[in-house]
Amino acid sequence: MDRKQEILLAANKSFSLFGYKATTMEQIAKIANVGKGTIYNFFENKEVLFQEIVLHMIEEMKQEAIHVIREDAQFQENAHAALMKMLEFRETHQLYAKIIDEEKQWKTPAVKHVIGQVEQAIVSFICEKIDKYVQKGEIRQVNAELVAYLLLKAYVAFVNDWNLTHDNSLSEEEIANFFQDTIFRSLAI
Amino acid sequence: MDRKQEILLAANKSFSLFGYKATTMEQIAKIANVGKGTIYNFFENKEVLFQEIVLHMIEEMKQEAIHVIREDAQFQENAHAALMKMLEFRETHQLYAKIIDEEKQWKTPAVKHVIGQVEQAIVSFICEKIDKYVQKGEIRQVNAELVAYLLLKAYVAFVNDWNLTHDNSLSEEEIANFFQDTIFRSLAI
DNA sequence: AGTTGACCGAAATGGTTTTCTAGTCATTTT
DNA sequence: AAAATGACTAGAAAACCATTTCGGTCAACT
């Protein structure tokens, strides 16, 4: 099998298991059954290799988001489903969970950077959906980027942060209804 | 002058100047011109003393917020003005600025805790305003706590976080217009 | 009764040594 | 010749530990 793939696979496994910092190039080489030097024939350095892995993860996340979208549904339903699915990734996807931990604990710059990329990818994705629904005439013409950013931040606030400071945790339905009643309501024609 | 006041004054000065961690009880005692032991006659420990100072700061912040509120204005104008004023505090008020730094840099538990209190105070304040305007019949009946929380998180996101990831920084007017067009619009009767 | 600062143990600090690891490159393998 | 390798290096991180600092106490003092 092609060595680049082996390396990517090994790197993915190791980053997912141990995070960025705790993964060594030697570790990856061993899992991939190659010499350490070989990795550098395919990837400029550790960070570039990591980028590649994260890009792949973003693609996975996008696919899962696309998967929960129903063409015939209203914007609100689709946006809610997609955002929830992507936020779910934070807990269910090993690599994503690991790097979120790492960012909090060590603030590794490389990790901080890719988390920014993931966030940007989510915003872009939502942005596209907004544009599409504006085209369809189902929602008002708005600054899609600002709305997408607001939606992401609002969802993160209610899904991840609310529980940290409040005892009465919110069910997904309560969250859906609340946003239905506020942000989404404001987008209706 | 009464010793408790002297101590509070000294503590306020020192916490504002050096933050929680870098302020020592001896330092406070020296500024207050009392022995270190005296402080413990009035305050159980360093954290309780800090609490008292922060409570005072919250009161200050509330006063400033009240000050920018005009009875005859619409909800949206007052909410915007109050939130902006309170977020401004993060940069202009020495103590608040210091503890925000400290929280990021050292995650001091005591500091983390009081920052939560400040946030809760802001939400409560906005909550009251929402209730009042609901009474007045100027905005729809909504879950005031959720809306207040959303407003705070949204304002923080756009005022403090947007610039960290985007080049085109937003003017206060753009922010006001955007929220006018989304969250506040959804609250209109 | 109220105040004080010397004192204590636990924690933080900082300087030093040791270990680890990203990336290189001379050598080996194909 | 081209690709692969792992011993090697420099610099970063971790481990270590001696020393200092600081929150809180309390016996002495006013």
Rounded distance between C-alpha atoms, residue A171 and residue A88, angstroms: 14
Query: Residues 6 or more apart from A178 whose CB is under 8 A from it?
Result: A158, A170, B143, B146, B150
Q: B183–A178: do the CB atoms touch at under 8 Å?
A: no
pLDDT at B147: 98
Q: Using an 8 Å Cβ cutoff, are A135 and A75 in contact?
A: no
What average pLDDT does chain A have?
97
Residue B155 above 80 pLDDT?
yes
Which of residues 117 to 176 on A have a Cβ less than 7 angstroms from any strand D atom? none
Q: Is A182 on the interface with B (CB under 8 A)?
A: yes
Interface A-B: count of C-beta contacts within 8 A: 56
Q: B181–A142: do the CB atoms touch at under 8 Å?
A: yes
Instruction: Kindly indicate the confidence band of residue B122, based on its pLDDT and cuts at 50, 70 and 90.
Output: very high
pTM above 0.85, yes or no: yes
Q: Which of A118, A134, A153 to mutate to test the interface with B (most CBs of B within 10 A)?
A: A153
3-state secondary structure of A139: strand
Q: Please report, for residues A69, A158, B65, B110, the alpha-carbon distance to residue B81 in angstroms, rounded to integers and kept in the order given.
A: 38, 24, 8, 30
Q: Using an 8 Å Cβ cutoff, are B106 and B96 in contact?
A: no
Q: Which nucleotides of D are covered by protein (CB under 7 A)?
A: 3-7, 21-27
3-state secondary structure of A188: strand
pLDDT per residue as tens, chain A (189 positions): 799 999 999 999 999 999 999 999 999 999 999 999 999 999 999 999 999 999 999 999 999 999 999 999 999 999 999 999 999 999 999 999 999 999 999 999 999 999 999 999 999 999 999 999 999 999 999 999 999 999 999 999 999 999 999 999 999 999 999 999 999 999 998
Residue B1 above 80 pLDDT?
no
* Through-space separation of residue A43 CA and nucleotide C27 C1' in angstroms: 22
Q: A185–B182: do the CB atoms touch at under 8 Å?
A: no
pLDDT at B124: 98
Within the 129-168 window of chain B, which residues sit less than 8 Å (CB to CB) from chain A? 142-143, 146-147, 149-150, 153-154, 157-158, 161-162, 165
Residue B88 above 90 pLDDT?
yes
pLDDT at B126: 98
Q: Does the C-beta of B45 come within 7 A of strand D?
A: yes
Q: Does the C-beta of A59 come within 7 A of strand C?
A: no
Rounded distance between C-alpha atoms, residue A112 and residue A21, angstroms: 12
Residue B145 above 80 pLDDT?
yes
pLDDT at B189: 85
Which residue is closest to D3 in terms of CA–C1' distance?
A38
The CA angle A188-A80-A139, to the nearest 5 degrees, is: 20
Residue of B nearest to A181 (CA): B186
Q: What percent of chain B has pLDDT over 90?
A: 98
What average pLDDT does chain B have?
97
CB-side exposure of A143: number of CA atoms within 13 Å? Answer: 13
Segment B98-106 long-range contacts (CB within 8 Å, at least 24 positions apart): B98/B15, B98/B16, B98/B17, B98/B18, B98/B19, B99/B15, B99/B19, B99/B20, B99/B54, B101/B19, B102/B19, B102/B20, B102/B21, B106/B21
Average pLDDT over residues B3-29: 98
Q: Which nucleotides of C are covered by protein (CB under 7 A)?
A: 2-6, 13, 20-26
Phi and psi at B139, nearest 5°, equal -135, 160
pLDDT at A189: 85
Rounded distance between C-alpha atoms, residue A181 and residue A175, angstroms: 10
